[in-house]
Amino acid sequence: MAFQQPPLPYDFNALEPYGMKAETFEYHYGKHHKAYVDNLNKLTDGTELADKSLEEVIKATFRDASKVGIFNNAAQVWNHTFFWNSLKPAGGGQPSGALADKIDKDFGSFEKFAEEFSNAAATQFGSGWAWLIDDGGTLKVIKTPNAENPLAYGQKAILTLDVWEHAYYIDYRNARPAFIKNYLEQLVNWDFAAENLAKA
C-alpha cells in the first residue's frame, strides 16, 4: 500500500475570505505536498519501509545519514497534512476551555503565547516550521528547520505553521510577518489543537 495524500479538509477556495487564496492550495497542496508523497513512494518502493506507517518511517529514518531523502519527504508529507488541519475558515482568535487554561498556565497569557509563536515563526532562518507542542505535559513553542518535526524529537504536535517561502509567496510575497499575523487572527483551528492536547 503506497503512501497516500489525504484530501484537504476544506475546498481549495474555502480560506480565500481569510487571507489564503485557492491558487495557494493549487500549488502548496496540489504540487508541493503531492510531490513529497510521490517522492516518498519512489524512495521506499520495494523496501521494508514501504509497509510501515508514515509515523514509523519518520522515526526510523531521523538522523540516519543514509536515509535523509526518505526522512525529508516522509516528514514533509506528515507536516503538511498536520498544517492543513491546523487551519480552518473563520479560525484564529483565542481558544477556549482546557486548552485556553493550559496556555495561560504554561505561557502566562494568550498574548505571551502569541508573541512567542510569532517570534519563532518569524525567526526560523530559511525554510521550516513553527509549532505549539506538548513536551512531557508542558506546552512549548518551538521552531524546526526544513522537514524536522516534533514527532521526530519525541514530542507531541498541537498546532503548526509552515514558514517555507512556498507557503506565503502567492498571498504575501516576501512578507512572512503579515502571513503569521493573518494565521493567528483568521486561520488557526483551535478545535484541532484542543483535540491534539486531549490526546497528548
Q: What are the residues binding Fe ion (CB under 5 A)?
A: 162, 164, 167
Shorter beta-carbon distance to Fe ion: residue 25 or 107: 25
CB of 97 closer than 8 Å to CB of 194:
yes
- Residues whose CB falls within 8 Å of the CB of residue 96, separated by 6 or more in sequence, listed in order: 190
Residue nearest Fe ion (C-beta atom):
162
Backbone angles phi, psi at 29, to 5 degrees: -85, -50
Shorter beta-carbon distance to Fe ion: residue 77 or 141: 77
The least CB distance from residue 5 to Fe ion, in Å, is: 13
Shorter beta-carbon distance to Fe ion: residue 79 or 196: 79
The least CB distance from residue 198 to Fe ion, in Å, is: 26
Buried b (16+ CB within 10 A) or exposed e, 122-147: eebeeebbbbbbbeeeebbbbbbebb
CB atoms under 10 Å from CB of 177, counted, come to 12
What DSSP character marks residue 148?
A: -
Shorter beta-carbon distance to Fe ion: residue 148 or 162: 162
The least CB distance from residue 104 to Fe ion, in Å, is: 31
Q: Cα(198)–Cα(200) distance, rounded to whole angstroms?
A: 6
**Nearest to residue 30, comparing CAs of 11, 55, 16?**
11
Shorter beta-carbon distance to Fe ion: residue 83 or 113: 83
The least CB distance from residue 157 to Fe ion, in Å, is: 15
The least CB distance from residue 122 to Fe ion, in Å, is: 17
Half-sphere exposure of 79 (CA within 13 A, CB side): 32
The least CB distance from residue 42 to Fe ion, in Å, is: 19
Shorter beta-carbon distance to Fe ion: residue 73 or 99: 73
As given in the structure block, the three cell numbers for residue 67 are: 536515509
